[in-house]
Amino acid sequence: MNKLLTFGAVTCAAFAFSVPALAEPVAKPDPKLVVVISVDQFSANLFAQYRPVFSGGLATLAREGIVYPNGYQSHAFTETCPGHSTLLTGKHPNKTGISANDWYDLTTGKSVYCLSDPTSPLANDPEGRSVSPRNMVATTYGDWLKAASPNSRVFGVSGKDRGAITMSGHHADGAYWYVPGYGFTTFVPPGDTAQARLKPVAAFNAKITADLKKHPFVWDYDKSPMDALTGGSAKRCKALEADYETGGRKWRAALPIPVAPDEAGKLRDIGSSPFIDEVSLELAAQLRDAYGLGDGPQVDLLTVSLSATDYIGHRYGTRGPEMCDQMARLDDRLGTFLKSVGKAKGGVLVVLAADHGAADMPERLNGEGYDVERVIAKPWLAKLNTQVRADLGLSWDPLIADGGIDQIYAVGPDRKTPSITDRARIVADALALISRLPEVAGAFDAQALLTAEPAPADTSPEELSLMERMRRSVYPGRTGDIVVAFKPNLVASTPGPAYVSTHGSPWDYDRRVPILFWWKGSTPRERILPLDTVDIAPTIAAVTGVKPPADLDGRCRPLGAGHDC
């Protein structure tokens, strides 16, 4: 795995020689529209691997913008919800309150989704999972912007609710995400109606439905060549086809994806394909046009979280023909999108980052000579429970890890909050056992992390201790009693028919992401020193003259030369 990271660093360093190292001041952007894009699961390694052949929107950003190839999500639990929560709040998950995708509520004995809010049902399905930004205790750049400029408009679009909501914030004019078989939906806060909330996307949803009925989506290799010198993306991607066995299932990594025999399967396949990025970008462009974002005297914000790379990475891995084709399509569609938002009458600042990275599936990496193994959660936790029960003479399983075995909760016989005495005994015994396991790099009592002294503010994300990475992920009442880091290249992931790869560790293959800033007339710069994702929001705030809260973890980084923040 380290060799893979080295390859990415060398590739990025090679690009640095083609970019002028200017020292003179460079005019800063003066945008009326800020566009912030998250490409979910877009690791620095993936960016480095395909950077030489980008020719569309990603090429524009990488060749004309300010490029930080070594950006970081500097917390430990590198999941979608917490990662998105850092992008525009300027705070780590221990201050956003979004510590994981899901957590266990010891008072109710139930698992809680990161954006769960029973008071805000879905516009398309009142019986579905109700969500809102309520659980995010931090404000976003969009919230700061609206407070300073009430006429500013803020919209968020994504393939996931947690991508649209966490980036657009608490007071967005609209946050929409794609539901296969329906179209784009949103949440309905108290006092509002589903019809009113869906009005901005109703016509677009009707168009998607009609188009899919007329031309059902079948995922085959993209016919638009991404790089003529290599013969086009289809030829390059097809060369990656191979046969694999994961979890006892034999399958072939290849396109086209066979058409599913039932409707549920067809919807599942659309949700794990480039289609969701395509429609997300189309809707974002239409919202820009419909509301004239960037055309007025005020600054507007448009956030776009592109979810396909994450879904594809989980289902097919990150380095097969499926991801190769996804990168080609993403590059092409982003090119079209940049031209569309470029129609704004005012200047446009585009920022691109990611909520987390990811490693490839262990089976493919093993075939390439890397010692990557899986840790299967259920038997691992069952063995631990058996030992703790025996050690303490308990009549119940005292440990629960519903959100993943990197966060373990101590429970009483009713699977809820144990007594103070029982918690202390359970945590102490389990922590000692876990810490001695050969597959574990470190395990910590979450309560101790809550009171731990933070790392100095100027500590590089590359130099953070494991304990500090963990501390940045711990939020009281939501994080497990014991937090665990498995050793690098040991992946806590159980393969299934539609799930072969994952992320979530505190290691660099999951933490490192590219961060790019671009505007028309920007001077290309390659900045290889690290940038934290929490630095994005204060940087945008400084450019647009918006005052952020005083308690941010991030700081403004100059887009020109010197210290012009």
- Which residues belong to the active site? 80
SS3 316: helix
Which residues lie closer than 8 Å to 71 by C-beta, 6 or more apart?
44, 353, 354, 512, 513, 514, 515, 530, 531, 532, 533
Please check whether residue 506 is in contact with residue 340, taking contact to mean a CB–CB distance below 8 angstroms: no
Helix (H, G, I), strand (E, B) or coil at 513: strand
Using DSSP, state whether 456 is helix, strand or coil. Answer: coil
> What tokens were used for 187?
């949440």
CA of 528: how far to CAs of 44, 70, 123, 256, in Å? Answer: 12, 6, 44, 38
**51 HSE (CA, 13 A, CB side):** 25
CA distance 30 to 97: 32
Contacts of 229 (CB under 8 A, 6+ apart): none
Q: Is the dihedral of CA 426, 432, 437, 442 positive or negative?
A: positive
The pair of three-digit structure tokens given for residue 392, joined into one six-digit string: 């303490």
* 327 neighbors 45 (Cβ within 8 angstroms): no
CA dist list (Å): 334 to 156, 352, 432: 16, 11, 49
Q: How far apart are CA 117 and CA 110, in angstroms?
A: 14
Number of residues that this document lists for the chain: 565
* Three-state secondary structure string covering 140-203: CHHHHHHHHCCCCCEEEEECCHHHHHHHHCCCCCEEEEEECCCEEECECCCCCCHHHHHHHHHH
Q: How many whole angstroms separate alpha carbon 416 and alpha carbon 430? A: 17
